[in-house]
Amino acid sequence: MTEKTAHIHWEGSGKTAVGNISTETGALKDYPYGFASRFEDDRRGSNPEELLAAAHAACFTMAFSFACEKAGWKTTEIDTRASIRLSKQGEGFVIDHIQLTMEASIAGINDAQFQEIAAMAKRDCPLSKALASVPEIALQATLRTTLQTTVQTNTTP
């Protein structure tokens, strides 16, 4: 069993307040966030949805890699992007859609096997399970084709 922690320090009230995010590993140390970085276009801070997207993409990617290994396939490269949509609902907001977009290179696997493992990884990823209340978690998985080149040597004198 493992437990991870983060700490938030928040000063002020409402839209003018500012906060700082810190994680136990130090990956984030007093990183700013607030209304402007969450609901406007202020790129000087982060926001909960961005952090959740990063966490979900990381969790899914690891789950996919482990599932491939368990099935006998070796992943050589995986790139995953997660997009989280925060929508207004009544007086508040909800996360109503998550899009996972993954591209991977795996020698020898066919697309049907690849898609099956990707779907299983999405279903079994701990963060996908934690986010089960989100109405839609979509996955677009693309198997990258790898070009295999054969070097021929001339054996005639």
Structure confidence by residue, pLDDT tens digits, 121-145: 999 999 999 999 999 999 999 999 7
- What backbone phi and psi angles, to 5 degrees, belong to 80? -130, 140
Same domain, 123 and 65: yes
Same domain, 21 and 40: yes
Domain ranges, residue 94: 47-144
Same domain, 101 and 128: yes
SS3 helix, strand, coil % of the chain, rounded to 5?
Answer: 30, 35, 35
Q: Is the pLDDT of residue 148 over 60?
A: no
Of the given ranges (55-59, 120-124, 148-152), which has the lowest mean pLDDT?
148-152
Q: Is the pLDDT of residue 62 over 60?
A: yes
CB 30 within 8 A of CB 68: no
Q: What is the mean pLDDT of residues 99-128?
A: 97
Q: pLDDT grade, residue 156 (50/70/90)? A: very low
Q: pLDDT grade, residue 146 (50/70/90)? A: low
Domain total for the chain?
A: 2
Same domain, 131 and 114: yes
pTM of the model: 0.88
**C-alpha angle 31-1-29 in degrees, rounded to nearest 5:** 10
Q: What was the pLDDT predicted at 1? A: 87
Same domain, 98 and 121: yes
Same domain, 97 and 128: yes
Q: What is the mean pLDDT of residues 46-56?
A: 96
Between 2 and 55, residue with greater pLDDT: 55
Same domain, 62 and 87: yes
Same domain, 60 and 29: no
Is 35 part of a structural domain of the chain?
yes
Q: Is the pLDDT of residue 108 over 50?
A: yes
Amino acid, res. 107: A
Please count the CA atoms within 13 angstroms of the CA of 3 that sit on its side-chain side.
Answer: 0
Q: For residue 109, what is the domain's CATH number? A: 3.30.300.20
Is 152 part of a structural domain of the chain?
no
